[in-house]
Amino acid sequence: MKFDAPATTNPIDQLKVVGQPVDRIDGPLKTTGTARYAYERHDAVPNAAYGYVVGSAIAKGRIKSIDVAAAKAALGVLAIVTAENAGKLEKGRLNTAKLLGGPEIQHYHQAIAVVVAETFEQARDAGQMLRVDYDREQGSFDLRGGMDTAKPAGITAGPPDTAVGNFGSAFAAAPVQLDETYTTPDESHAMMEPHASTAAWDGDKLTIWTSNQMIAWGVGEVAKTLNMPKENVRLISPFVGGGFGAKLFVRSDAILAALGARAAGRPVKVTLQRALVINNTTHRPATIQRIRIGTTRDGKITAVGHESWSGDLTGGKPDGAVSQTRMLYAGADRMTATRLAALDLPESNAMRAPGEATGMMALEIAMDEMAERLGMDPIEFRILNDTQVVPDVASKPPSQDPQAINNREAQSPSKDKPFSQRQLVQCFRTGAERFGWDKRIAQPGQVRDGRWLVGIGVASAFRNNQLTKSAARVRLETDGTVTVETDMTDIGTGSYTIIGQTAAEMMGVPLQKVAVRLGDSSFPISSGSGGQWGGNNSTAGVYAACVKLREMVAQKLGFNSAEAAFSDGEVRAGNRAVPLADAARDGSLSAEDAIEYGDLDKKFQQSTFGAHFVEVVVDAATAEIRVRRMLAVCAAGRILNPKTARSQVIGAMTMGVGAALMEELVVDKRVGFFVNHDLASYEVPVHADIPHQDMIFLDETDPMSSPMKAKGVAELGICGVAAAVANAVYNATGVRVRDYPVTLDKLIAKLPAVG
């Protein structure tokens, strides 16, 4: 189905099932422990052996030799695979470093071997017996030290640099100016389920049960890496215990499980230990961001400049921290610039809202700082500079082709492009009323509650809506039930449920009569999960398949498909009604189709918007920070399931608190690795850290987006949260922290005197 004109009234608009806050249909499996994840596929792969991955002990250099004799002789060992005996391996298109290192080493904890044994303990024990002789080289591990040699590099949302007008002259002439630098640290995805895979060979055919967000991409990567035909690779991933972008790409667990299984002659399961999740897989890179804003004395932005530096391995890509600055606020003279430093740290890549999450941590503090210089309310300053057209040299929504994502290719620019929907102002107005913004005291450090200093903060939320082809197969069974098959994944987002709701709405059956099967490369290729593109695109693909199935059913039952209505398990037109199941009396009916997009996204900028409100308290003596309450107001198209969408947003808000107050991968700049590579020392929020969370979805549909009239929301929820927390801390204390995370050591010496 080609979607090349704005959506009009269609069966989804009935909202009998879609749009309702129904429980997740996979919930019972997960709450009873019967949902089988990649490492637990004892049902499909009995008698699997265990693989243990050994990571490099240096960050850069070469392996001179590996002595495997003692490990091979150890109890229970079945096979040991290194680069010496793995056969010819290619580097995939979507990873920067090789997934099995040797002899060259590109980063610390790069996988250099997998030891396969009868038990996990035996494999781990033998792994410690490997004797590796390295030739260590000097590496570059400091982003600030690499700024001078950093080079321009394109981001997902466009070219490295943009310029409109003459920023330099406009900024110099601005009556009110801000020029500040902000930093964000390296961060880990820290998902609950580590990267894990179980691999089995049947002749020259390979099946991998894996934890992966993008099945079709993964098939291509495994095939390329192992030099085998794509048709001989099957990936299965029905449940993913968290990904946040770390599992967009095949990682070493899948490749080493496959190599280990081939060497051992039996199925092998591999999970990466937490230290390797952090140092071996991907992470969000640190950034250094310089923001300059010039305004008139009444607060109109005349000049805005945003420069960002981040680092990655040679051949990698930068963080897109400048992306939202190209679209969020008005201003005639503008510039953005992105620079990439070559670092020998573990690979950086996508993490929830890559670009906007880090960029808004800086931009939204800068907006508050500018509002203070102007003597304006921070909300009113943002509203004054709202725009209904893209103010920068905007890029078209980024391609979801994996090669484009890997290369971060620049997209074609266009000017004066209107937003399809933009309710940012309404998000602020609604949130301010609900949160009690009018009670805020603008002067910092004035509100106390006993020993606590109290402050509230605000920030915008912004994330683009991304469109990509997505397919599904829908089958009407002989008993009247409907089965949906697509390789779409559910990473805890509720994909099973919203896909089931879509099919139920389209075919006129209750949700209980829909069976959803996901995460198998033998199913039609979907959008996959990531970038908050999954919900809208995958359901639109199911919509397309259901349209085709409705036509088949109508023809079978003798109805005009344009007049047939599907409701309550029947097909109706005029005074005639026939049970839906009658169409499959002679055998099931199956239809497959995909949603393919025209150029509406080129004519209209499709984005999602929101506003975050946060109240914090800071201990006047110790500078301990606690978040008391949070509110998010989101405008993100039709909300397909308010219950699952709310869970996504409050989860993202929680991650935003972590980014604001605690998350930081600490780099050992001598050796080149992340020191705190476990969940004991890499701090993430726990229940005690998170207070009451409230959220509001504005009533919105976007007919430019898809037949579902929906957009993404899962990443919008993190964008701006950290800045809202930081702004609230400033309002409480009068201490401005520009280097995340905002920790007590950065506050305590500057707190107001305890009276």
What number of CA atoms fall less than 13 Å from residue 131's CA on the CB side? 5
Q: Which two tokens stand for residue 379?
A: 């909300």
Cβ-Cβ contacts under 8 Å for 64 (sequence gap 6 or more): 103, 133, 134, 135
- As a whole number of angstroms, the distance between CA 707 and CA 498 comes to 14
Buried-exposed string 177-187: b where 16+ CB fall within 10 A, e elsewhere: ebebebbbbbb
Three-state DSSP at 61 gives strand
Helix (H) or strand (E) holding 94: none
- Calculate the CA 314 to chain-centre distance: 23
477 a catalytic residue: no
Please answer whether residues 304 and 332 qualify as being in contact, where contact means their C-beta atoms are separated by less than 8 angstroms.
Answer: no
Q: Which two tokens stand for residue 356?
A: 């906007």
β-strands 287-295, 301-312: how paired? antiparallel
β-strands 131-136, 61-67: how paired? antiparallel
| Catalytic-labelled residue, pool 307, 372, 664, 715 | 715
- As a whole number of angstroms, the distance between CA 444 and CA 160 comes to 37
* φ, ψ for residue 269, nearest 5 deg: -115, 140
- As a whole number of angstroms, the distance between CA 482 and CA 503 comes to 8
Sign of CA dihedral 99, 105, 106, 108: positive
Please answer whether residues 518 and 490 qualify as being in contact, where contact means their C-beta atoms are separated by less than 8 angstroms.
Answer: yes
Is the omega angle on the peptide bond into residue 741 within 30 degrees of 0, that is, cis? yes
Cβ-Cβ contacts under 8 Å for 73 (sequence gap 6 or more): none
Please answer whether residues 202 and 230 qualify as being in contact, where contact means their C-beta atoms are separated by less than 8 angstroms.
Answer: no
Single-letter code of the amino acid located at 187:
E
Active site members: 715
